[in-house]
Amino acid sequence: MRSIVGRSRVGHSKVGRSKVGTYSLTAAAVMIVAATVVATTSSSPDPTALEPQTTLGAQVGARGAALPAWYGAAPYLTDPDNPPDLTAIMAATGQKTFTLPFVLAATSGGCTPTWNGDRPIVDGAVRRLVDTVRGAGGDVVVSFGGFGGAKLGQSCPTPQATADAYQQVVDAYQVRAVDFDLEAPGYESSSALANEVGAAQLLRQRNPGLYVSITTAGTTAGTGGFGQQILNLAKSMGFVPDNFTIMAFDNGFTGDRAQIAALETFHGILMTTFDWDSATAYAHEGVLGMNGRTDAGEVFTQADFRSVLTYALRNRLGRFTFWAVDRDRPCDPLQPGPGCSDVPQSPWEFTGFTARFGNQDAAAVLPGAQPARPPAPARPPATTRTTPPRPNPGGSARAGCSALPWNATNPYVGGTVVAYNGHAWTAKWWNQGEVPGANPDNVWVDNGPCAGSGRPVATCTAAAWDPNGTYVRGDTVTHAGRTWTAKWWTRGDEPGANQQGAWADDGPCTAR
């Protein structure tokens, strides 16, 4: 079965052996490209003339009015011939968008766009997939390039010709958002890279409101010479896409701490390169992660995703996404394969995090829209999980706290009952790390007081919370006579008195 991803990608790898070495563009190449982009004009169909379907575009008006965060939160899909049930994922998590990779040049040669190098752009499987997502109220992002294969920037002679090829995709599917996944190998030629960045600028000019992201390799130092080359080229053209995104995996990353450190370094690179202030740099920064175990042996858990998501929301990053939604499900121990995460999980847990990022400002834009719910993955088959306890009828108080104490690291599905701070609580939907009675999403129903909470008083042995300190997941502090554990990266969030719910309450403690 053919895949959009490309046959060179074994298992569940996206990036593989990405090169991050230094490439140089000559001054002449930059001048030629910049002159071509400025001088080029092109007519295209009226971008607002969209069919009145029940799509993301129809919900919020003409093209360009859709929420940028929805497009910035679109996880990648790997195979349109055998995708998971996207409508079920959307219903379970609130996810609105998905990214379809990859548009490449035809393997037979020439400046012709194809899926994966060997499938025509007007493809029945892709059309059905796009129609399905839009019919459910969502939309798609189309990604150009990727790891391996012949790039259009290599095969097309100029930025204008490259943009003409990509425009065929935009027109065929009425695309409102595109991603330029610029990875080595493929751009050792300075003109090939200039063609791609120039085409990105031309597409934006031809299609007002088109969402454009540029994705490249990330390193523990933010990005390498290749990524810096892309930034320099965009600056020389006077082109600013919606975001520059780094792939924070497969290059020596060890969990959320390394990813956040790299994002902070990349933030500084953006500020220096474009002379931006801090807020502007964050707004044009994105992160692409990988759920579960990568081909390089790195492991990124739900806790890692939550920590990076908190960082992205707090700093208002422009993009938070991952590779890939196909892998967002548990592996079958009897038939392991590439279509799973290889970490313990319920289906679609990682997609729940992108849904939360994508819906962060929906209530401010869509009339009558509600704030996004936290991740709410579909339940696995009953054969693999017992039915959770149901709420008490009418929410009446329990005589005793017979349920297990709430644990900040445990995931809970809707209907699960826990004991916390002398009350019994029932989960409304899937959640993790949401403190009963003290979370902005109100995911717990208070069933009333009960006797005992299973939380003994301990000694305050942790250091006092410092309002100027920076904490990462797992750090423990003492504050207001209680012990608290950081659930993700946090700074300036007072334990027990912040809307982010960044601290897990470990219960009361007494001074020595």
First to last CA, the chain: 66
Report which secondary-structure segment, H or E, holds 446.
Answer: strand 444-449
Cα–Cα dist 48/247, whole Å: 33
Query: Do the beta carbons of residue 142 and residue 178 sit within 8 Å?
Result: yes
Dihedral, 258, 264, 270, 275 alpha carbons, nearest 10 = -160
- Strand order through the sheet with 503-510: 458-459, 503-510, 482-486, 476-479
Q: Locate 434 and state its tokens.
A: 């949401």
Cα–Cα dist 328/92, whole Å: 13
Q: In angstroms, how far apart are the furthest CA atoms of the chain?
A: 80
Reported for 399-405, long-range contacts at CB under 8 A and 24+ positions apart, including other chains, are 399/450, 399/451, 400/450, 400/451, 400/452, 401/450, 401/451, 401/452, 401/453, 401/454, 402/450, 404/454, 405/453, 405/454, 405/455
Cα–Cα dist 30/231, whole Å: 12
Report which secondary-structure segment, H or E, holds 352.
Answer: helix 349-358
Whether 183 is catalytic is yes
Give DSSP secondary structure letters for 118-171: TEESS-HHHHHHHHHHHHTT-EEEEEEE-SSS--HHHHSSSHHHHHHHHHHHHH
Dump strand ranges (E) for 263-348: 285-290, 292-293, 299-300, 319-323
DSSP state, 383? G
Question: Which residue in 51, 183, 188, 285 is the catalytic one?
Answer: 183
Query: Do the beta carbons of residue 63 and residue 139 sit within 8 Å?
Result: no
Cα–Cα dist 192/347, whole Å: 40
293-325 b/e with 16+ CB inside 10 Å = b?
A: bbbeebebbbbbbbbbbbbbebbebbbbbbbbb
Active-site annotation, residues = 183
